[in-house]
Amino acid sequence: MNDIKILVVDDEENIRFLFKEELEEEGYQVEVASNGFEAIDKVKGTRFDVIVMDIKMPGMDGIQALNEIKNMIKEQPVILCSAYGEFKQDFSSWISDAYVVKSADTSELKQTIKNILNI
């Protein structure tokens, strides 16, 4: 568990903090980025087992970042995590590996990560 790396991408600092805490508690190593550009930079330097990506962000949004990252590393697992449920219908989000509606209850997110990691 200790060597599983997760990147949390969200423009809201408190959300990044919440997810980092929650996921670290699960035993993952967690890094954060506050927008799409930052996320791509991080991905270039480090290999992440899972990326948790917000959608609505200033600069580069999550869908764009998702597509860029998938272009770079085809098998990179990305979970879209947004306040909206409606992006599910946006076909450009379909290449993500999962879609989780952002919630105070992080159990769905944690379970989705486990599913992707097969643990």
Partner 1 sequence: MNPVELLGNIIEVSHSNLEITSRINAVLGIMSQGMDFDEAIVFTSDQDKRLTSRFKNQKSTLYKILDSYRCHIGEGVIGGVAQKRIPQYYDNKNIPPRFGCLFYPELDSLVGKYKSFAFLPLSDDSYIYGVLVLCTPDRRFITDAEKILLSIISREIGGVLRINDLFLSSKKRISELATLSELGKILSSNAEPQALLKDIGLIIAKSLNALFVTIKLDHAFLRVEPQRYTYGILDQPIENYLNELEQEALRQKKTVSLRNHGQTEDDISSKYSLYATPIMSKNRILGTIAICGGRSQKDYAFEENSRYLINTFANYIASGLENTLLNTKLKDVIKDLNNAQKRIIDQEKFKSLGEMTANIAHEIKNPLVVIGGFTKRLAKKMRMDQTESRYVDIITNEVSRLESILNDLLNYVKDTPVPAETCNMNDCIDEVLHLFSSDTTWDRMQVLKRYDKNLPSAPCDMQQIKQVFINIIINAHEAMNGEGTITISTGKTIMDNKQFVFVSITDTGGGINASLIDNIFNPFFTTKERGTGLGLAISNKIIHNHDGKIEIENMVGKGATFFVYLPVKNHTNREELL
Residues binding partner 1 (CB under 8 A):
12, 14-15, 18, 21-22, 56, 83-86, 89, 101-106
Q: How far is the CB of 17 from partner 1 (least distance, A)?
A: 8
Please say which residue, 2 or 89, places its beta carbon nearer to partner 1. 89
Side-chain-facing half-sphere of 102: CA atoms under 13 Å: 20
What does the alpha-carbon distance between residue 56 and residue 81 come to, in Å, rounded to a whole number? 10
* Contact criterion met (CB below 8 Å) for 14 and 34: no
Q: How far is the CB of 104 from partner 1 (least distance, A)?
A: 2
- For 29, the enclosing helix (H) or strand (E) is strand 29-33
Please say which residue, 11 or 38, places its beta carbon nearer to partner 1. 11
Please say which residue, 25 or 41, places its beta carbon nearer to partner 1. 25
Q: How far is the CB of 110 from partner 1 (least distance, A)?
A: 12
What does the alpha-carbon distance between residue 66 and residue 60 come to, in Å, rounded to a whole number? 10
**Which is nearest to 30 in space by CA: 44, 17, 11?**
17
Q: How far is the CB of 41 from partner 1 (least distance, A)?
A: 23
